[in-house]
Structure 1
Amino acid sequence: MANGSRQAAWEFFGAELKRRRENAGITQTELGARVFVSGGYIGQFEQAIRKPQLDIAQRIDDALQTDGIFERLWQKLIRDRRYADYFARTAELERLATRICDWEPSVVPGLLQTPAYTRALVLATQPFAADELVEERVAARAERAAILEDATRPEYCAIVHETVLRVPVGGREVAARALTHLAEAARSRKVLLQVLPYSAGATANNGSLRLMEFDDAPPTAYTETSFSGSVLDDPAVVKRASRAYDLIRGAALSPDASLALIESAAEDFRRCTRTT
């Protein structure tokens, strides 16, 4: 279940609920009456259409005498706050990918972020978040980045817009270290890194874009905006996404020129830090 998608995990919850209800010899309507919801709600739980509240999961455990299994499943699924729901499947797929290609128009790609940079991004979008939640998100992103250290790491390509190099996320010192980390990753050949300069003008894709390839499955694409993301597996759509990525790559600087620009931008931030 840990390697399945979030939706697959909820489907497991529903299938287990149905199995145990039927083993107990009671109908959806009867179970609903015992936990104070309609029988239709129970059916939606079993089909993973609707997610129960914690108190309902606890009452289901009591009604079916399941020793807390549904409460524990609920705690695992609902309180795994490391990823936004729309990104969870992509985080799982990247561990299986043999090739990943990222395009990021506004921030350093997640697999290449430093903890301080990630922390600044989380706080920018969730300024009132508890420290625990912030650190969970930071740790989760660092955990994801570990795939680039594995002997079987995927082939990884990333293109970032020059904007990424100019915005002092977390302040100039944090930004300088983030760009230095980018440069080090490129020099160690963990990533084939390119920059799309301002001079390139309009881009073929305005939001984040990721392409993933696998040994035993068709390629997928993932697109993201500020508040949502979508995994795309329709072959025609993935083909269009790949073409957009190729157009961006064709307009980007060479890896060597990109590295020089990244290092120059990092030095600009450091110079400003020294003079303030």
Structure 2
Amino acid sequence: MTRPKKLDPSSSPRAMLGAELRHQREKAGLSQEQLGSPLFVSGSFIGQLEAGTRRMRMEYALRIDEVLKTDGYFERNCKAATKSKYPDHFAEAADAEEIAVAIQEYAALLIPGLIQTEAYARAIFRGGLPTAPEEEIDELVAARLDRTRLLANPTTPMFWSVLDEAVLRRKVGGAAVMAEALGHVSALARRHRIIVQVLPFSAGAHMALGGSLKLMTFTDAPPLAYLESLGSGQLLDDPATVGSYELAYDLVGASALSPEASLALIESAAEAFAHEQ
């Protein structure tokens, strides 16, 4: 069961909804498991709603109002609490990132969003949406750069990424964009703000060969795994499933170059792109 967490209800609609859910549940004398049962979810899931690591969907809001007899409170407030500047498939994962104490990410093809530069992000979005108006691309880039503010805190969250060597070789946006993007990753690593490793092509097959993987851990909630594919994503909290992805990440990290050797390879790739200009 998720342990209670002191939320600031004024910090966001989602925090407000989570705090009110805890208040109404305790007022009704129900445990997290007892409230979860009629919703067909676990007590841990209810705890994640209360802690703000999961977003409340309308179907849950309607059932909660019914069980707790809250006169439509959660239905009325659910829309405001679930508004997001991120695509639907990623919105919940973005919320979880904001309160995670540690984020581990295996990146198979692209530099992770939290450590991208503006030019690199713009090249990604333009490549994926070749006919979108510039205003739409601007909004997507702004939202992605807003996520990078998480690393403005000098220590939290701890961010550790394993980059497949393909990330270093794929020329996103051209040589100048890649030189800047890899230089940014290198600078973060040299400031000891992030841990970065490179999984070389020579490592061969591995457990995460099927795609990218993000793991998030929290002070007072179970860990989550996030898997993303073209236009879709899955946020997973089943302990056995998350455990299997944690093992996959550990084994990928064990096969990767050391942080020191990885940094040398990243800077070598950045220098090669810079010379190519």
Give the alignment's TM-score, normalised by structure 2: 0.73
Partners of 2:151 and 2:74 in 1: how far apart? 37
Partners of 1:6 and 1:129 in 2: how far apart? 30
Structure 2 residue aligned with 1:55: none
Find runs of 4+ consecutive structure 1 residues off by over 4 angstroms. 2-7, 9-15, 73-78
Does the 8 Å CA contact 2:115/2:185 hold for their aligned counterparts?
Answer: yes
236-245 vs 127-136, which moves further: 127-136
Partners of 2:190 and 2:110 in 1: how far apart? 20
The answer to whether 1:121 aligns with 2:124 is yes
Larger Rg: 1
RMSD: 2.9
Does the 8 Å CA contact 1:6/1:77 hold for their aligned counterparts?
Answer: no
The answer to whether 1:200 aligns with 2:248 is no
Matching of residues 1-276 of structure 1 within 5 Å: 1-3=13-15, 7-8=55-56, 10=58, 80=84, 82-151=85-154, 153-205=156-208, 206-273=210-277
Q: How big is the shift at 1:47?
A: 9.9
Q: Cα distance 1:13–1:247, how it changes in 2: closer, same or farther (>3 A)?
A: closer
Q: How big is the shift at 1:169?
A: 0.2
Q: How big is the shift at 1:203?
A: 2.4
**What are the Cα deviations for residues 124-163 of structure 1, in whole angstroms up to 9, with x where unaligned?**
1111112222111111111111111124521110000000
Q: Give secondary structure in 1 for the equivalent of 2:225.
A: strand
Q: Cα distance 1:148–1:47, how it changes in 2: closer, same or farther (>3 A)?
A: closer
Aligned length: 225
Q: Please list every run of 5 or more consecutive structure 1 residues that lacks an aligned counterpart in the other structure.
A: 24-45, 49-68
**What are the Cα deviations for residues 51-85 of structure 1, in whole angstroms up to 9, with x where unaligned?**
xxxxxxxxxxxxxxxxxx99xx979967x5x3221
Q: Give secondary structure in 2 for the equivalent of 1:257.
A: helix
Q: Give secondary structure in 2 for the equivalent of 1:138.
A: helix
Does the 8 Å CA contact 2:105/2:161 hold for their aligned counterparts?
Answer: yes
Q: How big is the shift at 1:234?
A: 0.3
Identity %: 43
Q: Please list every run of 5 or more consecutive structure 2 residues that lacks an aligned counterpart in the other structure.
A: 1-12, 16-51
